A and B are shown apart, each in its own frame.
Chain A
Amino acid sequence: MSATLSTTMSAVTVISPETNEDVQTVVCAYEQIVVRGGGTKPALCTAGDGATVLDTRRLTGIVEYEPGEFVFTARAGTPLREIADALAAYGQYLPFDPPLVQEGATLGGTVAAGLSGSGRHRYGGVRDFLIGVRFVDGQGRLVRGGGKVVKNAAGFDLPKLLVGSIGRLGVIVEASFKVFPQPPRYATLRVSQPSLDAALAAITRLNGSTFDIEALDLLIEAGAPVLYVRQGGLATTLEERQQSLRIWLGVGTPLRETDEAEFWAAARAFSWAPADWSLVKTPITLNTIPVLEQILQASGAQRRYLAGGALVWIAWPGELAQLHVYLTQLQLSGLVLRGETQWPFVGARTGASLAARVKRVLDPTNRFPIL
């Protein structure tokens, strides 16, 4: 087998298969496996004692990309950076705006973690763009779901099942996506808000408005709420559209063009989050923000609310057990991307019993960590 074996300083074996058959062989050969892509979400891919790391980074390369079709297929270990570059050459992009692109996140890791970024505001998240997937389940079976065309209703939607499965239902080895033309130009308005209530009211108004907004993030800067509203489109009309938005909002300062791209790149990189704090993804709704914000502020957490109040990234300084208690009280759930934890979920959880049934089919002997 062409896999390379290497041993790190701890007693963890790392295997880097190159082919799908290698992956099948590895899965059948080891009893405890943790799948790792770029390793940018350490809480989801750190192996405990005795476990073997299956590193996907040699399962790499774009398999098919037909620009005129706005669809591509790539192997799971392909860095997002490579994909983003290939798409950009034809004016296309991943509309769900995955995070950690420059930090080395892979396509498969992004699907498995179920991560989308600020740009998901416009057209939807990773689940909405994934159209096909190939994976090796815990029994070593190579399974395919979905397809390579933008619309397909044949069979159960295994691609969606794999979104957010964090390597615990199988090893994703290949994924197909639909993509969109990228807006040729972007512009962002920075809108300071007098209070959280005012910020939430502004988000509510914007969410119900006819403005086409690419991203709508709420930040807390020096204790005060600030909205960042990103628009995109033809260069010829963008200025006029931003002007109408500014008039409609009554306030707002455009970011300078150079700062604009940098601002959203920084968001993608989580550069605002202290590196040694835990980082947690938490799906929310607008009406949970007031209570949540009180807790996060009082706890000294850093946070960034995305996509018009659909999601918050929490950088948490303390024990995750405490965050777990808070989120559970609010009936919110979270996924730990970075931080010390045995179990990556915090807070409330829905669908656990159905997930367990699925797990018993795809990974009956728990080769991958429990789900």
Chain B
Amino acid sequence: METSGLISELERCFPPDRLLQRPAQMAPYESDALTAFRARPAAVILAETQAEVIQAVRLCHRHAIPFVARGSGTSLSGGSLPVEEGIVIALNRLNRVLRLDPAQRIAVVEPGVINLDVSRAAAPHGLYYAPDPSSQLICTIGGNVAFNSGGAHCLKYGMTANHVLGLKAVLPDGEVVQLGGESLESVGPDLTGFFVGSEGLFGVALEIILRLLPKPECYRTVLAAYDSLAGAGDAVAQVVASGLLPGAMEIMDALAIEAAEAAVHAGYPRDAAALLIVELEGERVQVEAEFAHLLRVIEGSGPKTVTVAKDDADRARIWKGRKSAFSAVGRLSPDYLVQDGVVPRSRLGEALATIERLSRTHNLRVANVFHAGDGNLHPLILFNGRVAGELERAEALAGEIIQMCIALGGSVTGEHGIGMEKRQHMRAMFTTTDLEVMAELRRALDPGEISNRGKMFPDGEAPALSSHGVHPLERQGVISRE
């Protein structure tokens, strides 16, 4: 790729400390949280204003050089992996909450705003931003928009797309568009919804209008332990079928429990094969009545033990364990792959039993900590990349789990996106025509395919799977996974 023309133009627009070109400076940007992939860009732009982002995109377009927008680089599917010799547009410095309107219950934010900071800003008004990925302490709203990210509390009020009312974006060819608005409703095709989840292929979101919700009056949380993972999975199906509508329903298996206990002492029962967390939220009288019903359903599902959170501190501890479990499991092993497939909720028990079996046949440990309420699995496949053949075995195991999800009528990804990692599975989900139409839509927005080139579509060029280990920012102590 011939980048010198672009680089010299960029040098005129950005000071050297915000146009990184030396390998050492760019190292933290070479991969995301899927560290098996790594690529070196030609330059990294640390943008500070929307105008700078627009200018950078327009220059890339004029020079036909690919770019990748980047938030905090916590993508688990290689979504923010740079294009080799392309440009990275880092958005962390566009981190202003531009407007918070408690009466209309909206927040207008720049893309680099950290997910949790939206809720922090809204808290004094009794409001919060609902989607809560486990990475919410570090991931950005821009990244959330690109991946339609979810979290533990997305069962009742939905994922990122359900909370984005409108946005301003620069399309890959430099046009700036305004989609949606401040109303919960819209007319015409839902272009905001179409942009959300486009994995950075539709350009860069510059300003996002988010819906805020009032904090519920009351939460009731129960922790049930089971003798088997499948038992916990079946309990989820029973809770769903009971007609209750929990705010969250999460499962952790023995490995995850152990790791979470070691990390944050959540007080989980240690001898369980699986834990199920179910939480109800809403008006107190209603929640209390429903909670009694929930406990009956849980009792009927054959748990070993049932623990009810007594107070806010108890509840906070349960959630702290859950939210740290993911990265805590990661620390049990030099390397891991995480899958994100979805199965129908009524098939959860079956799916989990299959994963256990596959784990044995491939002789690799698999930890499960996931959003059970929407059937969204997160098996973490633990391996050691230094042992010859383990990475390949881990990948084979991951592939079989994905095939199972498809066979059960589910999806290859619930929230982490296709990115780099799951591109080859798109063909199992969609027909050639479906993919062709998606590719045409992409080119209608990005004729040169410069925005996040090589991602999502099955035929893109893939850099070889190579290195492993912790996130480069993590190694430097810039981020940590909580």
Contacts and interface: CB of A to CB of B under 8 A. Distances in A.
A binds B: yes
Contact of B184 (A66, A149, A234, A310): A310
A208 B125 contact: yes
A160 B189 CA distance: 7
Contacts of B477: none
Chain A binding surface SS class = mixed
A90 to B, nearest CB: 9
B262 interface: no
Given A124-B157, A150-B375, A181 B285 contact: no
Interface string A323-359: 0000000000111000000000100011101110110
Interface string B397-425: 00000000000011111111110001000
A212 B286 contact: yes
Contact of B289 (A137, A153, A234, A282): A234
A160 B289 contact: no
A256 interface: no
Interface residues of A, number: 83
B433 A149 contact: no
Contacts of A165: 188-189
B396 interface: no
Contacts of B161: 157, 160
Interface in A104-127: 114, 116, 120, 123-125, 127
B158 A128 contact: yes
B263 interface: no
A349 B188 contact: yes
Interface string B436-453: 111011101100000000
A143 B433 contact: yes
Contact of B214 (A208, A240, A334): A208
B418 A160 contact: no
Contacts of B183: 283-285, 310-311
Interface string B166-200: 10000100010111111111111111111011100
A62 interface: no
B286 A233 contact: yes
A164 B189 contact: yes
B43 to A, nearest CB: 29
B433 A207 contact: no
Interface residues of B, number: 94
Interface string A48-72: 0000000000000000001111110
Contact of A286 (B103, B285, B418): B103
Contacts of B412: 154
Nearest to A360: B444
A310 B185 CA distance: 6
A359 to B, nearest CB: 9
Given A128-B158, A157-B193, A237 B289 contact: yes
B437 A287 contact: no
Contacts of B433: 141-143
A249 interface: no
Contacts of B371: 151
A241 interface: yes
B104 A286 contact: yes
Contacts of B416: 153
Given A208-B102, A283-B184, A169 B285 contact: no
B159 interface: yes
Given A143-B433, A212-B283, A307-B185, A114 B190 contact: yes
A283 B375 contact: no
Nearest to A168: B189
A153 B415 contact: yes
A152 interface: yes
Interface in A202-240: 204, 207-212, 233-234, 236-237, 240
B194 A153 contact: no
Given A155-B438, A283-B186, A354 B177 contact: yes
Contact of A164 (B148, B188, B441): B188
- Of the listed residues A142, A165, A210, A360, the one surrounded by the most CB atoms of chain B closer than 10 A to its CB is A210
Given A157-B196, A241-B286, A355-B191, A68 B346 contact: yes
A149 B186 contact: no
Contacts of B217: 210
Nearest to A362: B437
A137 B187 contact: no
A290 interface: no
A91 interface: yes
B417 to A, nearest CB: 5
B245 interface: yes
Nearest to A64: B409
A148 interface: yes
Contacts of B154: 151
Given A68-B240, A181-B245, A234-B290, A155 B434 contact: yes
B105 interface: yes
B31 interface: no
B450 to A, nearest CB: 16
Contacts of B444: 357-358, 360-361
B340 to A, nearest CB: 8
B289 A236 contact: yes
A151 B244 contact: no
Contacts of B375: 149-151
Contacts of A236: 289
B184 A164 contact: no
B353 interface: no
Contacts of B346: 66, 68-69
A277 B328 CA distance: 63
Contact of A208 (B126, B187, B426): B126
Contacts of B414: 149, 151-153
Nearest to A166: B188
B272 interface: no
Given A144-B430, A210-B216, A233-B286, A153 B158 contact: no
Contacts of A71: 344
Given A209-B214, A241-B285, A287 B103 contact: yes
A351 B177 contact: yes
B355 to A, nearest CB: 17
A163 B103 contact: no
B431 interface: yes
Interface string B344-358: 111000000000000
A125 B157 CA distance: 11
B102 A163 contact: no
A127 B190 contact: yes
Interface string B375-393: 1100000000000000000
A346 to B, nearest CB: 9
A49 B109 CA distance: 48
Contacts of B282: 212
Interface of A: 66-71, 91, 114, 116, 120, 123-125, 127-128, 137, 141-145, 147-158, 160-166, 169, 180-181, 204, 207-212, 233-234, 236-237, 240-241, 244, 281-287, 307, 310-311, 333-335, 345, 349-351, 353-355, 357-358, 360-362, 371
6 contacts: A125-B185, A155-B430, A156-B438, A164-B187, A210-B214, A233-B283
Closest 7 CB pairs of A and B: A160-B193, A210-B217, A283-B185, A283-B183, A181-B243, A335-B187, A310-B184
Given A144-B434, A147-B429, A234-B290, 9 more contacts: A68-B346, A69-B346, A70-B240, A149-B374, A151-B415, A152-B411, A240-B285, A350-B181, A362-B437
